[in-house]
Structure 1
Amino acid sequence: MKKVNLIQILIAACFLFTACTDNFEEINSNPNAPEGVSANLLTSTVTSEITRTLTEEGYSDGNTITQLMAKNNFPGFAQFDWGDQGMWNFFYGILPEINDILEISRTEETQNSTYEGIALTLRALCFANLTDLYGNVPYTQALSGKTEGIFTPVYDAQEDIYDGLLQDLADADVALAKNQSIRGTTGDVIYDGNPSKWRKLANSLRLRYLLRISKRRDVSQQMQAIISAGNYINNNADNAILTYSGTSNTDSWPQSTGRIGGFDEKSLCITALGYFTKFNDPRLDIWFDRNSNGDWVGMPIGLNQDNARAFDDANSPSRLDVNLFYYSATDAEAFIMKNSEVQFILAEAAERGFISGNPETFYNAGVRASLSYWGVSEADIAAYLAQPAVAYDGSLELLLTQKTIALWNVDYQGWLNYRRTGLPALKPGPDTLNGDLYPVRFLYPSSEQTLNTANYKAAVAAMGGDNINTKGWWETGTRY
């Protein structure tokens, strides 16, 4: 598997970021290249790597940018000292493998609509992340190096990318609706090749992305059609989750294989402590430990290295739960999307009048799904929802605060919701390197400036600059 992945990465890098060498055709005809790899082997790679990477990003930086967690060492990310964050190379490195699954699924000898639907869903997920994190990115020509010899792809407008990825998810729904079984080992570490569950994920992602562009477009009809059809994640059994086996370092919760010093560099953020205290939230005690004095202490976001260490020494902020997030190789899971997020999407859509239904019902279902996932009993969930501070009152700030908490470890989705709505309100820390602004994107990789110069410059001109404060198409709408 490692050999296959290395070849994939080398080929992807050649396709996307370089002018390639004169012997490219010889490289491309390598008998060990992806053309000879089965769909189940590729599916094992992409489902595993995407799920793990998204969750690790959420744990490390997604929780930080939404101020659920703070870093008491190496706090540069929370000061907004940003570059491309490595996500560009990850997604463009794995997209060729996804495209190979798609090609295999459509050939006469190996035609399989379930693999086709899985590949379309994952391709949409990757491109959605790319455009949400960077803005305009290569899309139509992004994977054309192998077929058309295009190694310096143009950047597409975010609006056009969204049209394409939403179409991919609609096509995935059609393919997966055929309910074609996969013989033998599927390679799928999320749903084991179950087409009905993949169909629910594809449609749930459609709901996520339709809501994301709802400041720009009327998405009511499309969202309502998905809800009416009923094929979306609607209970925790349908969550898109990878459960670690713990049998090796590569199949264990990543923090459990690292040093305790690295684990201890992350603490409870004071912003999150405010949420948890207001809501009397049981997730505080699940995700974090009290400090040595038996107190809950939160740390401000955005302190520089010296101030972060000084605060840590003086106040001993609460660390992440050591049993859940360090000693256990299996208790923490990786995930792409969960029922709680879907229910909060529906709650907001209903509150804004995009779909029919009672927003309070969806809100309660979202809270219940999150707490239940983390092991809170039904009796305690009922008591939690009955609290005045938690009971739904039509407030989007309450709804989106609860959604942000539920998006713990779910890549950068909480930050993306904040960028669209401004809720819950977030402010930069005292040692920010970005003034009074909360950033809205990552920078393009420096390699693009040298290896794809003309298209890079055109993209920067179209977007209005390559800086972390340049807003994307879906953020600048005025529908609400």
Structure 2
Amino acid sequence: MKLKTKIFVGLLAMISLGSCNKGFLELNTDPTKTKDAYPQQLMSNALIQSTSINMNRNRGFNNELMQVSVSIGDGEYKVFRYDFRRSWSDYLWSGHFLNMANYKDMYKKALTEVAFNTSYQGISMILQAWTNSILTDTYGDVPYSQATLGRDSLLFEPKFDRQQDIYMDMLHKLDSANTLLKVNTSIDPLHDPVYKGVTANWRKFGNSLYLRLLLRVAHKAETKDYAQAKIKEILETNKSNYPIISNNEESAILRWTGEGAYISPFMTTRVQDFRATALAKFFIDFLRDSNDPRLNIPEYGTNGINRWGIAPVSGNFEGVPSGYAAGNEDYSKMSYFYSADQNAGVNSMQKEPMTGMIMNFAEVEFIKAEAMLKGYISGDPSVPFYSGAESSIKLWIPTWPGVIKDHLAASDIDWDNNDTFEGKMERIHKQKYFALFLVDLQQWFEYRRTGHPVLPKGDGLKNNGEMPARMQYPVYVQSSNPTSYKDAVAQQGPDAINTKMWWQKP
């Protein structure tokens, strides 16, 4: 073939291909579907991820610090000895900031003309406040006002906001969410893994979260007037405008079904590793000695096994003293949580649907009890105290037939009007400790706020026996955001585990 002929044929082929490609995208795009995500599509996946992050840090970090469990071993970097690697910080920080972007996008999508929905706007604000509260209560000052702006604004080195400012904005967001959810615009139940589309319950959760955060800062000079007045408004003077969680059925729980995306993150742990972690003596002794039905009355559980799936040792429940000195004892055969493969019908936290705990009714009742004890609202604190203790049990065993006053009195852990203020706080927070079982890092946060419940100190504790006040910032933050990191350290104090954050200080 001559050169001119080859060139002509080549040009003809290119023209033909161009004609074939013309309209290709239009022909292969479904006009009935959008390429943009709707708010509900962002909500379900982000909630699953956020809850999974909280569960993993609850099991491996919170539970070790707060004497729920003990990872047996004599090596370095054992959290139960107040000794942990800086790398512990990375997972929660990275995961929650990633999902924060999804919650913010959810809000933006719910503002658009095609997907306008006030309920999704309100739920987004609640989820932003929930996630940001865990971040700031873990690290202190964190990126907030400029966080997650890298994609849209090319702001890759956000400033770290002061915790006080973060708290005030979170509180205002929750107030705005309450207003938005009054409209009660319907949402897709299939994409709501917590409340199945019941927006009234989202509103109740938002206001209950509001109470949690208000109580945390009600003692601070800068916020006490606002916080105490708002607690009174929500619980007493304007209750109808601020509905809160009022029974176990309204608790915020992401229940794992074991199907599709709803598989508990605990199931990704090897069964032998899951049961290798022992239960702490403080945790198991209280349940055993108070004859707690979640542990000691198998007929109220499933198939004759105690409700929390705790394995006995030689017919008894025994725990490991938290903070024990390395090399002192062999605690390898103490009580533990059953793994998913052990004996057909055995309850196991590894496959338990309710481990996706976000906030439950019992916690709300204990918030009321403390608010009454401190005089923020009127009332007898023993009333919500008993209600919280009973609800905490019935969340797991709805048919429990016991009388809560008699049950607690039998172990001398009932309410005592003649006790000191600190004694009453201890009674409230001992029960609240068990109500907060599985709830992200709330046991740790509450202990740092109140010093309750009183935890025994083992001989092997590091850090001079002082409960860590925070996680350090991830190492990569120092290199990826050096200026803001240095400003944060100058603002808050040394990037160390004993540097107290704003609300921890008197």
Instruction: State the TM bucket, normalised to the shorter chain.
Output: 0.7 to 0.9
Partner of 1:65: 65
The answer to whether the 8 Å contact 2:55/2:265 transfers is no
The 3 A distance-change label for structure 1 pair 211 and 269 is same
Root mean square deviation, CA, Å: 2.3
- Aligned to 2:413, which of 387, 390, 395? 390
Partner of 2:243: 231
Shift of 1:101: 0.4
Identity over aligned pairs, percent: 32
Q: Secondary structure at the match of 1:251?
A: coil
The 3 A distance-change label for structure 1 pair 135 and 295 is same
State the Cα deviation string for residues 264-294 of structure 1 (Å, max 9, x = none): 2222211123322443322334335353411
Tell whether 2:179 aligns with 1:168: no
Partner of 2:78: 76
- Aligned to 2:389, which of 367, 388, 400? 367
If the length of structure 2 is used for normalisation, what is the TM-score?
A: 0.82
Q: Which amino acid aligns with 2:204?
A: K
Shift of 1:298: 1.1
Partner of 1:13: none
Q: Which amino acid aligns with 2:458?
A: G
Partner of 2:93: 88
The answer to whether the 8 Å contact 2:282/2:321 transfers is yes
If the length of structure 1 is used for normalisation, what is the TM-score?
A: 0.86
Say how many residue pairs are matched.
Answer: 438
Of the structure 1 ranges 114-123 and 297-306, higher mean CA displacement relative to structure 2 is found in: 297-306
Partner of 2:471: 442
Partner of 2:286: 275
1:18-417 alignment, distance < 5 Å = 36-73=36-73, 76-82=78-84, 83=86, 84=89, 86-182=91-187, 184=188, 186-216=190-220, 217-218=224-225, 219-227=227-235, 228-229=239-240, 230-248=242-260, 250-285=261-296, 286-287=307-308, 289-303=310-324, 310-313=329-332, 316-322=333-339, 323-325=346-348, 329-375=351-397, 377-382=399-404, 383-387=406-410, 389-394=412-417, 395-417=424-446
Shift of 1:380: 2.1
Q: Which amino acid aligns with 1:254?
A: P
Shift of 1:312: 2.0
The answer to whether the 8 Å contact 1:428/1:437 transfers is no
The 3 A distance-change label for structure 1 pair 386 and 214 is same
Q: Which amino acid aligns with 2:295?
A: L
1:460-479 alignment, distance < 5 Å = 460-477=489-506
Of the structure 1 ranges 252-261 and 206-215, higher mean CA displacement relative to structure 2 is found in: 252-261
Partner of 1:8: none
1:420-459 alignment, distance < 5 Å = 420-459=449-488
The answer to whether the 8 Å contact 1:204/1:232 transfers is yes
d(CA) in 2 for partners of 1:464, 1:427: 29
Of the structure 1 ranges 87-96 and 369-378, higher mean CA displacement relative to structure 2 is found in: 369-378
d(CA) in 2 for partners of 1:211, 1:356: 15
The 3 A distance-change label for structure 1 pair 159 and 452 is same
Q: Secondary structure at the match of 1:435?
A: helix
Which of the two has higher C-alpha Rg?
Answer: 2
Where do 5+ consecutive residues of structure 1 fail to align?
Answer: 1-30
Of the structure 1 ranges 157-166 and 215-224, higher mean CA displacement relative to structure 2 is found in: 215-224
d(CA) in 1 for partners of 2:204, 2:60: 28
Of the structure 1 ranges 145-154 and 457-466, higher mean CA displacement relative to structure 2 is found in: 145-154
Q: Secondary structure at the match of 1:379?
A: coil
The 3 A distance-change label for structure 1 pair 326 and 166 is closer
The 3 A distance-change label for structure 1 pair 476 and 93 is same
d(CA) in 1 for partners of 2:120, 2:318: 48
Shift of 1:186: 5.0
State the Cα deviation string for residues 51-75 of structure 1 (Å, max 9, x = none): 2322332233222221122222577
Q: Secondary structure at the match of 1:287?
A: coil
The answer to whether the 8 Å contact 1:56/1:409 transfers is no
d(CA) in 2 for partners of 1:56, 1:387: 35
The 3 A distance-change label for structure 1 pair 304 and 76 is farther
Q: Secondary structure at the match of 2:70?
A: strand
Shift of 1:317: 1.0
The answer to whether the 8 Å contact 2:193/2:254 transfers is yes
